[in-house]
Chains A and B, each alone.
Chain A
């Protein structure tokens, strides 16, 4: 098997790419896509740690399943909010949505 550190470096890079996307995108759906990438990187870490270290091997995978469900919830609620904002504001760019600022 490949060493643990290589997988952790891979997930660190994946998480950082997602964070860059969340910080730099203007499009709201683009920000959601970047958040999904970060959740996936965290999920791989859970599975890898439960496989390589002395924890109960079921724990990591069970919480990975729960995180996948929560990510699906986040996507559903986020996209509902996007639809609602687009219907009211006719824009989808995060710096043009400023009705809570004055």
Chain B
């Protein structure tokens, strides 16, 4: 039992490493198509983190929506644009090195903040299943649910209006 626990811990840290590796690929690779594939790796790693936290519903949603939907959209747009693999075109702007320095300071600050905060933890981890989430959505959280659906409809109609080609007069 001890060995299984140790192996599962190592597995979670390996998932963390793979996710961060995918994220680094997604923001640094020259070719934007390869960067989108790095984003797929990072999103699958985040889905694995959800599964390891016993949030199976969120993990399934993550794979369906992100890895299915958003990646299809991004790759679709990447295919529509030219000059993708051109090595003469710079892929980052002049803020690159100041941004890198600032980000390193931000990481150091956040790590110090996380380590020094006295967290009020509970003795036993809570788990929750999809049935409870659905009941809460229809109960206490019905207003955010309805507002989200309204925003979804408005935004999708807006996206169609923006992206359509010009009307023939």
Note whether A and B form a binding pair: yes
Which residue from B28, B77, B115, B121 sits with its C-beta under 8 Å from A79? B77
Which residue from B55, B111, B151 sits with its C-beta under 8 Å from A9? B111
Q: Given A68-B66, A72-B65: A19 and B93 within 8 A (CB)?
A: no
Q: Cβ of A44 and Cβ of B46 under 8 Å apart? A: yes
List B1-57 residues whose CB lies under 8 Å from chain A: 9, 12-13, 16, 19-20, 23-24, 26-28, 32, 35-36, 39, 42-43, 46, 49-50, 53-55, 57
Q: Given A50-B126, A51-B125, A62-B137: A26 and B90 within 8 A (CB)?
A: yes
Q: Cβ of B156 and Cβ of A76 under 8 Å apart? A: yes
Count residues of B near A (Cβ-Cβ below 8 Å): 82
Chain B positions within 8 Å of A48 at CB level: 53
Q: Given A30-B35, A73-B156, A79-B77: A58 and B151 within 8 A (CB)?
A: no
What's the minimum C-beta distance from A22 to chain B, rounded to whole angstroms? 8
Q: Cβ of B92 and Cβ of A25 under 8 Å apart? A: yes
10 closest cross-chain pairs (CB), A and B: A21-B27, A80-B163, A12-B110, A57-B126, A80-B159, A23-B99, A58-B136, A80-B162, A73-B155, A8-B114
Binding site for A on B (CB under 8 A): 9, 12-13, 16, 19-20, 23-24, 26-28, 32, 35-36, 39, 42-43, 46, 49-50, 53-55, 57-58, 61-62, 65-66, 69-70, 73-74, 76-78, 80-81, 83, 89-93, 95-96, 99-100, 102-103, 106-107, 110-111, 114-115, 119-122, 125-128, 132-133, 136-137, 141, 144-145, 148, 151-152, 155-156, 158-160, 162-163, 165
13 further contact pairs, Cβ within 8 A, besides A10-B19, A51-B126, A52-B119: A2-B9, A6-B13, A14-B20, A19-B106, A20-B103, A24-B27, A36-B43, A40-B66, A52-B125, A61-B55, A72-B66, A73-B152, A75-B74
